[in-house]
Amino acid sequence: MPMGGDWVDIEQEQAERGDETLVINMGPQHPATHGVLRLILETEGETVKSVRPGIGFLHTGIEKNMEFRNWAQGSTFVTRMDYVAPLFNEVAYCLSVERLLGIEDQIPERATQIRVLMMELNRISNHLVAIGTTGNELGATSVMMAGFREREMILDFFEAVSGLRMNHAYVRPGGVAVDLPENGISQLRDLIAWLEKHLPELALLIKENPIFKGRTVNVGVQDLSACMAMGVTGPILRSAGYAWDLRKTQPYCGYDTYDFDVPVENTADCYGRYLVRYNEMWESLKIVKQVADRLEQSIGQPVMYTDAKISSPADLRVGPDGQGNSHEHIKHIMGESMEALIHHFKVVTEGFRVPVGQAYVPIESPKGELGCHVVSDGGTRPYRAHMRDPGFNHLQSVPLQCEGGMISDVIMALASIDPVMGGVDR
């Protein structure tokens, strides 16, 4: 069978072969492919003989577009990559830019706390989508409804903080766009109480469900040696028994100051990946409660690096209510200093300059290692920006997990990988 090529060529070759093998397209538009992913299956009856993933249907040229926008505008692009976990894209990008700027140690503590809060809530919302859609693909719509109900509560909080439910562009080089709203802490406490009450429902629905276990236990098996060979990270790797989590092994954003565990399983199958994700939600909730306590102590502290050559001297920003600074505020700041006015004009029109160099900062996204590699030529725009999305690497494992199994097992294996094609194709 040719590597790639047109469907006509595949069909013609199959006709010449004359055996009982069927060549089947799953996708690119298919409810179980988690986006526009095409899987080319060769089957004998219900048994899968070979699988070839076909990607690129959602390619949007984001990384190339970033070369024509300034460094601050990069957050708006990267947040649209993995659109189920957008805040992780933003943090990985901003940490890389801050490393090039040499200001990693000067990010305000409150801004770092808010980043951790938003990431861990986003981790929970991502896992709710992963578990919910897995249940839906088994025909258990109630699992998806429960998962998406809890996710809506998290998205409501994101909207209250950033003004948007997704594609936030909330994390910026130097900190975050705006502080929590006045009632942010109380709304966060309500959200924590809601999640503590309702997350157990997902376990009641599927953890010991014989149908769910029948479809996931010993399905999509990828042991530790296979994970290491394929560059697998995240819940897939941890389901094979290896407690590799960048929040512990290569801490960033002060994760080494938080108390949490890294859930692992030894099943290396779809069921183990579900257990890891479910347990990770509780660990994330544990971190969120610690962040809430710290945020109560840091009220009033800055949330953005204050160098006028990087941030806006006038502190111009739009809050989650859609309203910007008052006219009196703008007049007061920009009418008193000619230097501030000049810096403001240059930062807004050109963007800030980043020293020559390159940086790569990996973080632990809900799906695995998400890294951002940025290269600067000393200008106001990235010379090159590239994201290492874990889903791109993990899709290579589809043949390893599925060949020799049933067609129905492909659905479960793909769901357990949890790819988002916006991140895969970029």
Give the per-residue pLDDT at 284: 94
CA angle 84, 89, 92 (to 5 degrees): 150
In this predicted structure, the answer to whether residue 162 has a pLDDT above a threshold of 50 is yes
Confidence grade of residue 315 (pLDDT, cut at 50, 70, 90): low
Return d(Cα 390, Cα 402) in angstroms, integer: 19
Return d(Cα 185, Cα 159) in angstroms, integer: 14
In this predicted structure, the answer to whether residue 314 has a pLDDT above a threshold of 60 is no
Strands 357-365 and 175-176: unpaired
Give the per-residue pLDDT at 156: 93
User: Is omega for the bond preceding 419 within 30 degrees of 0, making it cis?
Assistant: no
Query: For residue 369, what are the β-bridge partners?
Result: 364
Mean pLDDT of the 34-48 span? 85
Give the per-residue pLDDT at 187: 92
pLDDT above 70 as % of the chain:
91
Confidence grade of residue 28 (pLDDT, cut at 50, 70, 90): confident
Give the per-residue pLDDT at 332: 65
Mean pLDDT of the 32-58 span? 85
Task: Note the pLDDT tens digit of each residue in 72-108.
Answer: 888 899 999 888 999 999 999 999 999 999 988 889 9
Superfamily holding 62-305+352-425: Cytochrome-c3 Hydrogenase, chain B (1.10.645.10)
Return d(Cα 116, Cα 254) in angstroms, integer: 8
H/E/C letters for each residue in 132-189?
Answer: HHHHHHCCCHHHHHHHHHHHHHHHHHHHHHHCCCCCCCCEECCEECCCCCCCHHHHHH
Q: Which phi and psi (to 5°) does residue 329 adopt?
A: -65, -50
Taking all residues of the chain, what is their mean pLDDT, rounded to a whole number?
A: 86
Q: Which phi and psi (to 5°) does residue 171 adopt?
A: -85, 125
H or E element in which residue 214 lies? helix 210-216
In this predicted structure, the answer to whether residue 320 has a pLDDT above a threshold of 50 is yes
Domain boundaries, the chain: 7-54, 62-305+352-425
Task: Note the pLDDT tens digit of each residue in 221-247.
Answer: 899 999 999 999 989 999 998 999 999
Half-sphere exposure of 23 (CA within 13 A, CB side): 18
Would you state the structure tokens that stand for residue 165, as one six-digit string? 């439910």
3-state percent helix, strand, coil for the chain, nearest multiple of 5:
50, 10, 40
Cβ(406)–Cβ(214) under 8 Å? no
Return d(Cα 156, Cα 187) in angstroms, integer: 10
Confidence grade of residue 1 (pLDDT, cut at 50, 70, 90): very low
Give residue 241's region: left, alpha or beta (phi > 0; psi -120 to 50): left
Give the per-residue pLDDT at 382: 92
In this predicted structure, the answer to whether residue 47 has a pLDDT above a threshold of 90 is no
User: Please, is 177 exposed, middle or buried when counting C-beta atoms within 10 Å of its C-beta (0-12, 13-18, 19+)?
Assistant: buried
Task: Note the pLDDT tens digit of each residue in 393-406.
Answer: 898 988 898 888 88
Return d(Cα 264, Cα 268) in angstroms, integer: 10
Mean pLDDT of the 48-61 span? 88
Task: Note the pLDDT tens digit of each residue in 164-191.
Answer: 888 988 998 888 988 898 888 999 999 9
Return d(Cα 286, Cα 298) in angstroms, integer: 19
Strands 38-44 and 47-54: antiparallel
Give the per-residue pLDDT at 299: 87
Whether this model's pTM surpasses 0.95: no
- Which ranges constitute the DSSP H helices of 19-106? 62-66, 74-78, 86-101
Would you state the structure tokens that stand for residue 263, as one six-digit string? 């859930």
In this predicted structure, the answer to whether residue 2 has a pLDDT above a threshold of 50 is no
CA angle 75, 285, 178 (to 5 degrees): 35
Give the per-residue pLDDT at 123: 94
Return d(Cα 97, Cα 200) in angstroms, integer: 39
CA angle 56, 362, 266 (to 5 degrees): 85
In this predicted structure, the answer to whether residue 212 has a pLDDT above a threshold of 70 is yes
Mean pLDDT of the 122-144 span? 89
SS3 251: coil
Cβ(51)–Cβ(398) under 8 Å? yes
Specify the range with the lowest mean pLDDT, choosing from 39-43, 156-160, 277-281, 367-371.
Answer: 39-43
